[in-house]
Chains A and B, each alone.
Chain A
């Protein structure tokens, strides 16, 4: 009996309506749906920030809320730590309904579970970096020595060692955002809320920050909700993306799902000009390895039969842990008798570099698979981090995925 894992963050039908008649608008949404924003504002004095937003975020996941400005993504993010009070709907953190919380209980959640990074950094200009980074701990009442120690560690983690005594204005934008990140990390929260964290940075710094961020996040293991208006950014760093328009979620899925099967209309338009080979990964297109693998100890006849049945020229010999030991070629097998027990028994086409075995990890992008598949005639093997075969990508598969791209 597998226990159903509790999502770290769960939003159920969350609405946020700014203005005096929020409840009314939600109740009679049918009436208001056809109006545009301006009409609605004139008639009711309300602006719908977010409507009917539902999603689940697993522990350790990077979840991107992506949309253009005014799409409600920042509003939705702020509902998670209740900087905005949701008008309707429920939000759970670790199965605890936070919409019901207020006062000290809410502060508890904000102090211990969530950290937040802001678009314009929101640093305290009158404090040195240590004191900025230590802010969250100071609020919690951690004593000075302890909190400064943690602040130093957080600053080192984001690459600002040596700058601890500087003031924010002495730093470039990219560095200031590192301080923002350090401040959020110093309290060691389980959840990081990032509101357009890299949007105010210039393109080169932005790119560099994204890369470092992804690396850093793997180290610190946090659940992250990341708001951005930049689809590229979302695709680069997210595990799951929710695309928002006019306050509601148009489509959610993995980056590959978004790129390969965009929702007709809005998302399609977004995705149209994307260089898809940069976003589709090996695990998105690989096929199950069963067709290609034969256990060590099979006779050459057995292997040949299986390859005949599946119309294959190459197969992979695997050990009991599903690790690929070697490649077998149909024509070489014909001159081979008996069981294939060890590497030595397997005739190999080592003479030509075109027959070398290529293994990649699941997150390799199609772009680089293209080059690698050009170098070898054998299908590419996708391994997990233990070296076990997870999937196989043949040249045909790559061609098919390119066509759809």
Chain B
């Protein structure tokens, strides 16, 4: 039996996206230029730094923000990455992830703040965020290509779409969870809304915001692999290559390389989060 109606959703979206590409090409072009610029700077910097310097430098950072254990783990992972002959390509992945995360934070933080302060905005935002997280990520690779062509930039944009929600949600949550009485205290002493935000709400929301950053990084890392399908470089392209050739060896090596980067980023960020938490909670 036939279904009574057929909604041409696909057609509509196609028409809409086409209309966008035709009329806002300058906007997309300028976004592309900016993102590309950031990416190229980061990428060439990471590749320019000799591996021993990077290895030691990142380990020292890990020691400072976390502890000795994390520093050793970081050194081992980075050395592992290099020993699989994946250093350069790994650094490209790192640059991709960093760029995507940077953009996610830049967008997600103010959106989260706004969502926490404005219930109506929150109401509108919530289903959109849900959609961004649940629609299979492959689907929005297509509009990304239409807007930005093929290459690293659409890969990063798709990654941002995928990695943004936790940043927004956890920023909003962190602000909403600030002790009501402490917020009241801020107001009672005559804070302006901006003072309240900067001196009370944001500092107290930092553990939650850092958890958001951590999740955003992890999601970005998983997405850059998918983004390789539309021409993003890095370890993702290597994995894609191995799938196309059914080359298990290359695939495993690249996968382990991603794992190493994931461990390093996760542990360092967790260290930061924990330090912030300790400063705010009642323990040391």
Q: For residue A135, which residues in chain B have a CB less than 8 angstroms away from its CB?
A: 185, 189, 199
Cβ of A138 under 8 Å from chain B: yes
Say if the beta carbon of A390 comes within 8 Å of chain B.
no
Q: A126-B203, A169-B282 known; A119 and B189 CB under 8 Å? A: no
Which of chain B's residues have a CB closer than 8 A to the CB of A78? 184
Q: Looking across the interface, which residue of chain A has its beta carbon closest to that of B189? A: A136
**Could you tell me if B281 and A139 are in contact, using CB atoms closer than 8 angstroms?**
no
Cα A108 to Cα B280 with chains together (Å): 30
Nearest CB of B to A134, in Å: 11
A108 to B190, CA, bound (A): 7
Residue B191 CB within 8 A of the other chain: yes
Other-chain residue from A123, A140, A183, A193 in contact with B190 (beta carbon distance below 8 A): A140
Verify if A388 is at the interface (C-beta below 8 Å from B).
no
Chain A residues within 8 Å of B279, by CB: 125-126
Give A120's nearest chain B residue, CB to CB. B181
Q: In chain A, what residue has the closest Cβ to B284?
A: A169
CB interface residues, A 328-363, toward B, < 8 Å: none
Flag whether A293 is at the interface (Cβ < 8 A).
Answer: no
User: How many angstroms between the C-alpha atoms of A320 and B177 in the bound complex?
Assistant: 68
Stretch of A109-117, A203-211, A284-292, A391-399 at the chain-chain interface: A109-117
- Partner of B187 from A83, A169, A183 at Cβ < 8 Å: A83
When A118-B184, A126-B279 are in contact, do A110 and B190 touch as well, CB less than 8 Å?
Answer: yes
Q: Contact between A126 and B190 (Cβ–Cβ < 8 Å)?
A: no
Contact A110 to B188, CB < 8 A, known contacts A125-B204, A125-B280, A126-B203: yes
B179 at the interface (CB under 8 A from A): yes
For B189, give its contact among A108, A120, A123, A187 (CB under 8 Å). Answer: A187
Q: A138 vs B199: C-alpha distance in the bound complex, in angstroms?
A: 10
Distance (whole angstroms) from the CB of B177 to the closest CB of chain A: 13
Cα–Cα distance between A192 and B283 once the two chains are bound (Å)? 31
Interface check A267, CB cutoff 8 A: no
Q: Is A122 an interface residue (CB 8 A)?
A: yes
A332–B282 Cα distance when bound, in Å, is 73
**Chain B neighbourhood of A138, CB < 8 A:** 199
Bound CA span A247–B193, Å: 30
A87 proximal to B (CB < 8 A):
no
B182 at interface by CB-CB < 8 Å: yes
Q: Restricting to A70-114, which residues have a CB under 8 Å from any CB of B?
A: 78, 81, 83, 107-112, 114
Task: Evaluate whether A139 and B195 lie within 8 angstroms (CB atoms) in the complex, with A110-B189, A125-B282 already known.
Answer: yes
Inter-subunit contact B282/A81 (CB<8 Å): no
Interface contact B190-A107, CB-CB below 8 Å? yes
Once A124-B200, A126-B203, A138-B199 are accepted as A-B contacts, the answer to whether A83 and B188 lie under 8 Å apart by CB is yes
Cα A3 to Cα B138 in complex, Å, equals: 81
Q: In the complex, what's the smallest C-beta–C-beta distance from B196 to chain A, in angstroms?
A: 9
Nearest chain A CB to B186's CB is how many angstroms away?
8
B185 touches A122 (CB 8 A): yes
B30 within 8 Å of A (CB atoms): no
Q: Find the A residue at minimum CB distance from B195.
A: A139
> In the complex, which residues of chain B have a beta carbon less than 8 angstroms from the beta carbon of A114?
188
Question: Are the C-beta atoms of B200 and A81 separated by less than 8 Å?
Answer: no
Count, A-B residue pairs, CB within 8 A:
73
Min Cβ gap B276→A in Å is 9
Nearest to B191 among chain A residues (CB) is A139
Q: Is B192 an interface residue (CB 8 A)?
A: yes
- B187, A124: Cβ atoms closer than 8 Å: no
B residues less than 8 Å from A108 (CB atoms): 190
**Cross-chain contact A116 with B185 (CB below 8 angstroms):** yes
CB distance from B232 to the nearest CB of A (A): 39
Which of chain B's residues have a CB closer than 8 A to the CB of A193?
A: 188
**Are B185 and A118 in contact, with the CB atoms below 8 A?**
yes
Return chain B residues, CB-CB under 8 Å to A124. 182, 199-200, 203-204
List the B side residues contacting A140 at CB < 8 Å. Answer: 190
- Give the residue name and chain of the B residue nearest to A189 (CB): B189
Determine whether the beta carbon of A83 is less than 8 Å from that of B181. Answer: no
A308 CB → nearest B CB, Å: 64
- Give the residue name and chain of the B residue nearest to A141 (CB): B195
The interface residues of chain A lying within 8 Å CB-to-CB of B281 are 125, 169
Residues of B within 8 A of A116 (CB): 184-185, 188-189
Minimum CB–CB distance from B125 to chain A (whole Å) comes to: 24
In the complex with contacts A83-B184, A139-B195, A169-B283, A122-B179 CB distance below 8 A:
yes
What A residues does B190 contact at CB under 8 A? Answer: 107-112, 136, 139-140
Residue on A nearest B183 in the bound complex, by CB: A122
Are A81 and B188 interface neighbours, CB within 8 A?
Answer: yes
Q: Mark A156-168, 1 if CB is under 8 A from B, else 0.
A: 0000000000001
* Among A78, A115, A116, A183, residue most surrounded by chain B Cβ atoms (within 10 Å): A116
In the docked arrangement, what's the CA distance between A78 and B181, Å? 12
Minimum CB distance partner of B283 in chain A: A169
- A107 and B192 in contact, given A122-B184, A126-B279 (Cβ under 8 angstroms): yes
> CB-defined interface of B157-199 with A at 8 Å, one 1/0 digit per residue?
0000000000000000000000101101111111110010001
A168 to B283, CA, bound (A): 11
Contacts of A126 in B (CB 8 A): 203-204, 279-280
Chain B residues near A136 (CB-CB < 8 A):
189-190
In the complex, are the beta carbons of B181 and A122 less than 8 A apart? Answer: yes
A248-296 contacts to B, CB under 8 A, are none
State A78–B184 Cα separation when bound (angstroms).
10
Interface pair B181/A118, CB less than 8 Å apart: yes
Residues of B within 8 A of A169 (CB): 281-284
Residues of chain A at the chain B interface (Cβ within 8 Å): 78, 81, 83, 107-112, 114-116, 118-126, 135-136, 138-140, 168-169, 183, 187, 193
A118-B184, A124-B200, A139-B190 are known; give 9 further A-B pairs, CB within 8 A.
Answer: A83-B187, A107-B191, A108-B190, A119-B181, A122-B184, A136-B189, A139-B195, A139-B199, A140-B190
Listed from nearest, the 5 A-B pairs whose CB atoms lie closest are A111-B190, A169-B282, A110-B190, A122-B181, A122-B185
**What are 13 A-B pairs with beta-carbon distances under 8 A?**
A107-B190, A107-B191, A107-B192, A109-B190, A115-B189, A122-B179, A122-B182, A135-B199, A136-B190, A139-B186, A139-B199, A169-B281, A187-B189
